Amino acid sequence: MSSYDDRSPGSTGRLRSSDYHYDDPDRDGTYSDTAVLDRDGRNGRDQDTDRYGVAGGAGGADGTGSTSDTAVERRPFAWNSGADLGLLVMRLVVGAIFMAHGAQKVFGWFGGPGLDGFAEDLDGMGYSPADVLAALTGFTELVGGALVVLGLFTPLAAAGLLGVMVNVIWVKWPDGLFTADGGYELELALAALAAGLVLAGPGRVALDNGRVWFRHPVVTGWLCLLIAAGAAVGVRFLFHS
């Protein structure tokens, strides 16, 4: 290790490598991030803990609070445009998929069954009254998907989509995970994406930007997750015989 000049007032000249050391309290060959400097003509030791392990003189070599070594401070995590764009992509894809499935159920578009056909399917799965649940599910997917695309009331809209997917997974659970076997693989992926939007929010490229629930995403997210769970369980036990 090289020595360096200490030209501060009252210093004794040069501080050699032998004048400072790293603490190894356990004597196990490992070193902490604390550099302990013993300086001639001064009582005690100056201790500087640097998160990168760089000794920099916590009180400053010149006693002014500045350091003679330049220590790079670790910057805290900050939201960035990449996160906003990623959430926008998630919203557009997830919202569009649910809008398409909602349009199949409500209007019979894209080769869908319409409300009557979907109600018959639900009746065959043991749900009753099937026509009420068919309308509830179809409009939740259609309107909730549109709101997610726009980024408006995103946590609540995504929670509604999550509740629908939880019920579909509940129905398909006996068939296992994989889609080839009639399983819930796709529904699980959509449920996870919806849950992610509930917790993370829509990002800044959204109509929610600046609203109360946008500024408090943690509280809003967990509240909406509870709503999604309650809705999923309620539908299962109120409509399923």
pLDDT tens for the chain, residues 1 to 241: 444 444 444 444 444 444 444 444 455 544 444 444 444 444 444 444 444 444 444 444 444 544 445 455 666 666 789 999 999 999 999 999 999 999 999 999 999 999 999 999 999 999 999 999 999 999 999 999 999 999 999 999 999 999 999 999 999 999 999 999 999 999 999 999 999 999 999 999 999 999 999 999 999 999 999 999 999 999 999 999 7
Same domain, 210 and 94: yes
Token duo for residue 202: 């829509």
Same domain, 228 and 126: yes
Same domain, 68 and 112: no
Half-sphere exposure of 135 (CA within 13 A, CB side): 3
Provide the whole-model pTM: 0.69
- C-alpha 191/C-alpha 160 separation (Å) is 10
> CB of 108 within 8 A of CB of 117?
yes
Q: Residue 231's domain spans which residues?
A: 81-239
- C-alpha 64/C-alpha 75 separation (Å) is 24
Same domain, 9 and 88: no
Same domain, 5 and 111: no
Same domain, 5 and 33: yes
Query: Domain tally for the chain?
Result: 2
Same domain, 116 and 164: yes
Same domain, 18 and 106: no
DSSP letter, residue 21? E
- C-alpha 160/C-alpha 165 separation (Å) is 9
Q: In this structure, how many other beta carbons lie within 10 angstroms of the beta carbon of residue 54?
A: 14
Residue partners of 136: CB distance under 8 A and separation at least 6: 235
- C-alpha 219/C-alpha 22 separation (Å) is 45
Domain termination site, one of 74, 92, 119: 74
Return the SS3 of 94. Answer: helix
Domain termination site, one of 74, 102, 125: 74
At residue 220's C-alpha, the angle toward residues 191 and 240, to 5°, is: 45
Same domain, 97 and 211: yes
How much is the pLDDT for 80? 85
> CB of 161 within 8 A of CB of 227?
no
Same domain, 116 and 202: yes
Q: Are strands 34-37 and 46-49 parallel, antiparallel or unpaired?
A: antiparallel
Same domain, 62 and 113: no
Residue that the structure tokens 């809705």 belong to: 231
Q: Are strands 13-15 and 20-22 parallel, antiparallel or unpaired?
A: unpaired
How much is the pLDDT for 211? 94
Same domain, 85 and 52: no
